[in-house]
Chains A and B, each alone.
Chain A
Amino acid sequence: MNYTPEFLLNLYRMMLRIRLCEEALVEPILSGQIRCPVHLYSGEEAIAAGVCAALEGKDMVFGNHRSHGHYLAKGGSMHALFAEIFGRQTGCSRGRGGSMHIISPENGVLGIAPIVAGTISLALGAALASSIKNDLRVTVSFFGDGATGEGVLFESLNFAALKKLPLIFICENNSYSTHLPIREIRANNDIHLIAEPFGITHNKYDGNVVLQVYESARNAVELCRNGLGPVFLEFNTYRFRGHVGPDDNVQGAHTDIRPEDEIDAWRKKDPVLCFEKSLMQDNILTAELRQEIQASVDKEVKENFAKALSDPMVPPDELLKYVYAE
């Protein structure tokens, strides 16, 4: 497939934005400056960037506890993300949600919540709304391998297939459900096969290769827009950081989960570096341009971070504001 350099560089820039954003949070988490639980997306950037590049502004996404990447890739403001994590009034959820409840309705980021599998049926409802209104919007539900243990996923697969909804189920299989490796929670690690008995189009791709992600998502979007949804996509990937916070859950450390050589092997498949390398090989990215993009993203991250930190906290007398909609 042929891509314009502009498209490819935008994809690269988006992955870099997510990576640098996430890594900028590490130090403040360690120092206690950030207190709310933060689930870093580092290592999985190709999926958010690739999928959202295949979507239009009007399309909708729902996410989970590890959704900074989905939010940014769909157009959410970086400043409002940082501000939310710092509990500021200027946060995307006005400091009421924290890292696990980020939202950008104007960009179609309609709901992100950490009850595992909890937003899958919400995405199903958004897709149902589209099918009733016939507005040709597509909804994406991002969830992890851990969510495949929840019954609501299977209820949702059935209903989506029954009503032929424009919904893309996206399983980001990073091989760990909090502390448990997938072999300890599933009898079968080919997750996409769960869509088979429902007659849903499904496949598995390398979630660290952004163009593979993009192309599979683009096909899925096209199927959904043509009334041939739903689609189930499984992307294999790996989170460089641990389940929550920057603790990498390395064996021997107190969380004692992941073997060091496993982490090293995945580091060699770093989605940002691999894409960078291939762009350089194709002469789309030069050393000079790379430095320019990195400097510009670095500046964007630092400026938004600093601005968020200097923003006002939520006024204490607003505790009960927003309990009810008015």
Chain B
Amino acid sequence: MFMPNREIQYSIALNEALIQLMTADSNVLLIGQGVKSPWYVGNTCKDLVRLFGEKRVIDTPVSENAMTGVAVGAAIAGMKAVVVHPRADFAFYAFDPIINQAANWHYMNGGRSSAPVVFWLIINRGGEQAAQHSQAIQAMLAHVPGLKVIAPSTAYDVKGLLIAAVKDPGPVVFIDDRWLYSNQCDVVPEEMYEVEIGKAAIQHQGNDVTMVSYSWTAFECRRAVNELSRCGIGVELIDLRSLKPMDDELVYQSVLKTRRLIVVDGTWKSFGISAEILSRIIERFGTTTTIPMLRINLPDAPAPASSVLEKQYYITVEMIIERTKEFINKTHHGT
């Protein structure tokens, strides 16, 4: 059968992945607060209850700890569970089942049992939602042995990575960003396919600077890169797609060529993803080579409510363009 590729929204690609996964395998279940409500999950869970029933698509009481544990326990007992936290901030209640149990499970049981769960965390930044409705907590989770972490930025990747995550034999954290839902559209095959976890993608070729990002900020970087091209700055844009395992080889190869590195990471600066990328590249080059590096992060502060402060707080396309230009000027290679 001919399966055409179409341009669809990121959130629709996510929805399609869930529908195809649940159709293909009756052991796949989706649980979490708000799976019946667009208020929580946008249109990502559209038609799921109608297609698969409330036994496998379970909207829950506000009990993040137990509901996440339920997903882990169901997975241990043979299901493939996806548990959604429509605001990642509420997943702090679930760190015990995520970290103590699921992440350690395979190791501490000597490989005799595993917890194939996808922890789907939606970041809801902006909109004056303030400090407890907008946190991006991927660095904390990527820190934990036993967890894989995916953070796609395109419709193609969200479908392929979610399918790979559900099929993975162990626990995977899926960092999702609400801002991508309707803003990002790209070409997506209709059939099921997997994007390999742990593989980054070069989204734009360039020779002047390597720019590394993922999730929402990768979307902004794509827009910035076009403008920077017009200004004569050739950016090699790498979308990590997965944070753990991290494809530092692709980043390294690119930096070998460009000799400059910018990391655009929509989380707090200290002890985070951007620090990890920089330190890996420094380790790869050793102490003899100096590569100019720049990090663009959120400041080390809680998210504010005030829209005036929000404009200062979040990373914008303009900010990426401006700081990249400054960086290029300051680190002129003398060619």
Contact = CB atoms under 8 A, between A and B. Distances in A.
Interface of A: 60, 62, 91-97, 101, 103, 105, 110-111, 113, 115, 118-132, 139, 151-152, 155-156, 158-159, 162, 321-326
Contact of B114 (A124, A139, A325): A325
**Most chain B beta carbons < 10 A, residue from A110, A128, A156:** A128
A324 B148 contact: yes
A122 B70 CA distance: 5
21 contacts: A93-B109, A96-B110, A103-B113, A110-B76, A111-B101, A111-B113, A115-B101, A121-B69, A122-B76, A122-B97, A124-B69, A125-B71, A132-B56, A155-B61, A155-B63, A156-B69, A159-B70, A323-B107, A324-B106, A324-B148, A325-B114
A272 to B, nearest CB: 30
Contacts of A119: 73, 101
Interface of B: 29, 55-56, 58, 60-61, 63, 65-79, 81, 96-97, 100-101, 105-114, 116, 145-146, 148, 168-170
A92 B68 contact: no
A152 B101 CA distance: 14
Contact of A152 (B29, B66, B75, B111): B66
Nearest to A124: B70
B146 A323 contact: yes
B109 A122 contact: no
B25 to A, nearest CB: 12
A111 B76 contact: yes
A251 to B, nearest CB: 34
Contact of A155 (B66, B73, B100): B66
Given A122-B69, A152-B66, A94 B77 contact: no
Contacts of B67: 121, 155, 159
Nearest to A121: B69
Given A132-B55, A132-B56, A152 B112 contact: no
Contacts of A111: 73, 76, 101, 105, 109, 113
A132 B79 contact: yes
A326 B168 CA distance: 8
Contact of B100 (A92, A94, A113, A162): A113
Contact of A158 (B55, B63, B108, B112): B63
A121 B168 CA distance: 22
B70 A103 contact: no
Contacts of B75: 125
Contact of B66 (A115, A127, A159, A322): A159
A323 B245 CA distance: 12
B111 A101 contact: no
A325 B97 contact: no
Contacts of B101: 111, 113, 115, 118-119, 122
Given A103-B109, A325-B106, A124 B73 contact: yes
B114 to A, nearest CB: 4
A156 to B, nearest CB: 5
Contacts of A110: 76-77, 113
A184 to B, nearest CB: 24
B146 A97 contact: no
Contacts of B110: 91-97, 103, 322
Contacts of A113: 100-101, 108
Contact of B116 (A101, A156, A325): A325
**Most chain A beta carbons < 10 A, residue from B55, B71, B108:** B108
Given A62-B73, A92-B110, A129-B74, 20 more contacts: A93-B112, A103-B110, A103-B112, A103-B113, A111-B105, A111-B109, A120-B66, A121-B69, A124-B70, A124-B73, A130-B77, A139-B77, A155-B63, A159-B67, A322-B110, A322-B111, A324-B106, A324-B146, A324-B148, A326-B169
B60 A159 contact: yes
Contacts of A151: 65
Nearest to A122: B73
A101 B29 CA distance: 27
Contacts of B79: 125, 129, 132
Nearest to B29: A132
A143 to B, nearest CB: 13
B246 to A, nearest CB: 14
